[in-house]
Structures are given as structure tokens and as C-alpha cells.
Amino acid sequence: MNSAQDPDRGNRKLVVFGILGVTVLAMASMAIGKYSVPPSAILRVLFAGLTGGQPDVDPIQQTVIWNVRLPRVIAGLLIGAALAAAGATYQGLFRNPLVSPDILGVSAGASLGAVLAIFLKMPVPVIQLMSFFGGLLAVAAVYGVGAAVRGRDPVLTLVLAGVAIGAIVGAGISLVKILADPYDQLPAITYWLLGSLTAVTRADVGSILPAMVIGLLPLVALRWRMNVMTLGDEEAQTLGVDTRLMRLALIFGATLITAASVSIAGIVGWVGLVIPHVARLLVGPDFRRLLPAALLLGGGYMLVVDTLARSVALAEIPLGILTAVVGAPFFLWLLASGKRGWS
């Protein structure tokens, strides 16, 4: 039986090759920068850090790798994978390849929470916490509006509610920016909204890991039924799927990982829109293969973007700028070439 007939075998091969590729990118990301570190030194530092020993480890290299680049690489992997997985989930649920994690207002809500915390001069952990809950509250508001509207297409209702809530939250962000101190708070707010991994620490990575695991669980566990959800509510219900419960679980998971990502990195656009398209072109629309492909491609893509952000110019470039520069032209090419890869 070949891999085309055996999805599990094909998935295993995909995951193995994907992990190898991401590992190479992670090593390259830790080596490249203003202070370059050879791969052999990276391995010595990682071994010393994991075992507690100090065999022939340069203190500067240890600080650069263990305290700066390793947390940044892990955060980049988690955030890229999360945004790509959330995008693939939203696109499948709403049967619309133009949907991204922003569709339910999660990024805007998380941004408002962080902006308010910066405006109130809160410490970094509180900024992350308010960002996280801001994203969840925005989605709860969208879903509440969708549940209150009866007799209409539930998918269309959620999308329109997301647009409206996103607009209201965006107005709130603009108001806070106007009221903020232009010499202190406004630059911090603006830079955060553009996305960055500059200040990520090991504590930050540990703070989002539980949310990432909890959010990915329903996506992974329900990936077998996601293909049925793409057929539409009536067909899925005919096949015995509780579409309302499924949609709630999948939206919860995708929202949770997106809010966790925004809480430490700010707004990183286009990842959740473009990467699922690339994954779909490579492995097809079957969500059993699409989800692991999106996770691996998203993580690898974010590593490449973050490495470029801190190495191509004297000053670090915000991630949102680079992802827009790469993502927007690629998406226009997809539209112009007619490469849908959707069904």
C-alpha cells in the first residue's frame, strides 16, 4: 500500500521530513545574527544548558544562545505554527480561502488589551495577560452576536459579526493611541502593533505553552472530522456530526493559540492567510495532512522571517512589515495564477 492510499504513513513521512527541515532552520537561526555562532558551539551550549555542565563553553556564546536566541527561536516556531494552524482551521470551517485568524476579531481584541496595559503603564506580564484575555473576550462577543441572530447562515453571521467587532475594537485602539504619551507610550504601542520577538524570554515561552497545548488539542483530535465540516452544515449533520459543538471546539482552539501568540509577539499578519494556502498546494485539502503541513511550514516560515528581521539591517525590522512584504505579493500571485488548491 503506498502513501497515497495510507494517509497515516504519508503523514508520518511528512512530519519526519518537516521536523528535519525545521531543525536545520532553527540551527541556522541561532547561528546567524550580529554575533555569529558556529553550529558546533551552539550544540555545546545547548548540551551544557540541558545537563548543567560547562564543558568548553564560551560565556558570551552561552548568553547569546541560551538567553536570547533559543527563547526567540522557540517562540517563533510556536507562533508561526499556531497562526498557520488557526488560519487553516478558520478557512476550513468557513469554507473560504480568504479567511485568516483575524476574522473573529481575536488579533484586534488582543491588541486592544495590550495597548490598554501599555497606556496604564503595566508591567510586561500584565500586558501579556490583558492581551490574552482581550482576544478571548473579542471572540466571545462575536460568538455571542452570532448565537443571538437566528434564521441566517451561521457562518456568514460570524464573519460579519467579526468584522463589526473588529472595527469597534480598532476604534478603541486608535483612541488609546491618541491619548497616549507621544514620547514614551505611543512608540511602544506602535512597535508592539507591528509585531516583534525582540524581548521574548524563556519565561514568556513558558507562559504561552499551556495555552498552545490546550488550543491545539481540539484541532489535532478533530482533524479527522474537519473534512466533513468543509462540506457544509447540512451535509455534516446528515453524516452524524454535531456541527455546532464542532465549530465551538475548533473556534475555541484556534482562538486560544492565536491570542497566546499575539500576547507575546504583537500583530504578525499574513501568516494565517498565506501559509495554509501553501500547505494546501503542497499536500491537498485533506485536513489530516493539511494541519501538520501548516504547523511545520508556519514554524519554519516564522524562523526565516525573524532571522531576516534581525540581520538584514542595522535596526531590527518589525515582523509585521516583513510578513506583509512577503505575504501580500505571494497572495496576489495566487489570485492572478488561479492556483486555488481548495478542492
Asked if residue 12 is part of any domain, the answer here is no
On the 0-12 / 13-18 / 19+ scale of CB atoms within 10 A, 154 is middle
Helices (H), the chain: 7-31, 39-51, 59-62, 70-94, 106-119, 124-148, 154-179, 185-194, 202-221, 223-229, 233-238, 243-265, 271-283, 287-309, 319-337
Asked if residue 201 is part of any domain, the answer here is yes
What domain range includes position 192? 18-328
Mean pLDDT score of the chain, rounded to an integer?
A: 86
Q: Tell me the mean pLDDT in the region 33-61.
A: 83
Other beta carbons within 10 angstroms of residue 128's beta carbon come to: 23
Q: How many domains does the chain contain in total?
A: 1
Per-residue confidence band for 10, with pLDDT thresholds at 50, 70 and 90 = low
Q: Is the pLDDT of residue 215 over 90?
A: yes
Yes or no: say if 271 and 84 are a contact pair by the CB < 8 Å rule.
yes
Q: Is the pLDDT of residue 233 over 80?
A: no
DSSP string, 93-133: HHT-TT--GGGGTHHHHHHHHHHHHHHTT--HHHHHHHHHH
| Per-residue pLDDT reduced to its tens digit, 307-325 | 999 988 888 999 999 999 9
Asked if residue 8 is part of any domain, the answer here is no
| Per-residue pLDDT reduced to its tens digit, 101-151 | 877 788 889 899 989 999 998 887 888 889 888 988 988 898 888 778 766
What is residue 342's predicted lDDT score, i.e. its pLDDT? 47
What is residue 197's predicted lDDT score, i.e. its pLDDT? 93
Asked if residue 190 is part of any domain, the answer here is yes
Q: Is the pLDDT of residue 268 over 50?
A: yes
| Per-residue pLDDT reduced to its tens digit, 63-96 | 899 999 999 999 999 999 999 999 999 888 887 7
Q: Tell me the mean pLDDT in the region 233-238.
A: 79
Asked if residue 22 is part of any domain, the answer here is yes
What is residue 226's predicted lDDT score, i.e. its pLDDT? 87
Asked if residue 333 is part of any domain, the answer here is no
Cell of 95: 469554507
Per-residue confidence band for 3, with pLDDT thresholds at 50, 70 and 90 = very low
Asked if residue 135 is part of any domain, the answer here is yes
Asked if residue 10 is part of any domain, the answer here is no
> What CATH number does residue 97 fall under?
1.10.3470.10
Alpha-carbon span 294 to 85, nearest angstrom: 6
Alpha-carbon span 64 to 45, nearest angstrom: 10
* pTM confidence score: 0.89
Q: Which of 23-32, 43-52, 239-248, 277-286 has the highest mean pLDDT?
A: 23-32
Per-residue confidence band for 1, with pLDDT thresholds at 50, 70 and 90 = very low
Per-residue confidence band for 183, with pLDDT thresholds at 50, 70 and 90 = confident
